[in-house]
Structure 1
Amino acid sequence: MDAATMAQLLRAEPIPEAHMIREGQRKARDLLRARLVLVCRALRGQRAIGALLEKYKVETPVALPELPRLQTDLHTAQRAPLKRQARRLDHELHDRRALHVRYEAPAVRTDPVASSPSRALIAVASHLGG
């Protein structure tokens, strides 16, 4: 894209305004993403245990045959450190007050286009990029 095309696009305003996150918030966001990965892995183990229980039509892992029970034991053993690590990140983020992010919602339009609540929500969602 050349400068003339970019200038034309900027004048016509089809390009949304960009947001660059501050360095301190970027670090907190990266920690939150790491926490999400840990939680997803722990949840995947929990779902695998549930799938085994459903497959063998039993209520508890103790009632499973030997090898599927071993699988549930391994999943349970993996989940414990993942949950501990996620809690550690929770405390770290909370201690640094990195989770306190301010967000100001855009004002809801009151013109005839947004006269109904559903249209107002659509206006807010389109403003947010959704």
Structure 2
Amino acid sequence: MTYGQIITLLFILLILYYAGLVTMDIMAAKRMKASEEAKNEEAEIDISGLAGGFEPVEINRDNSRPTTVPQNMGAVRYKEPVMTNGYPVDSLISKTKNAIESGRYDDLDNLVYKCEAA
């Protein structure tokens, strides 16, 4: 077999390979379209048997509003600060104030890093 025949054979195999790929893509597209159409089909459901046994029920609602507000609703309650990853909230607040006053945020960055790493 000569060099020219090998190149010709490889070229023919390459053309057949790409023809097969195109054919498979076309077939896959047709299958996808058919499955989409099957998904969109509407199914009829017969509920005539259920509708015959339907009995309406009357619901009465009391739409009146209370005239007085409960006493505990208006009271504001103080809630203690919660610990943040093992670091007291009071310390976080003081470090934040110090960082704002001094303009140096290095300590605050380290503190945030420690809290997130905990």
Question: What TM-score, normalized by structure 1, do the two folds share?
Answer: 0.24
Higher helix fraction (1 or 2): 1
Question: What TM-score, normalized by structure 2, do the two folds share?
Answer: 0.27
Larger Rg: 2
User: Using CA pairs below 8 Å that are at least 6 residues apart, which structure has the higher relative contact order?
Assistant: 1
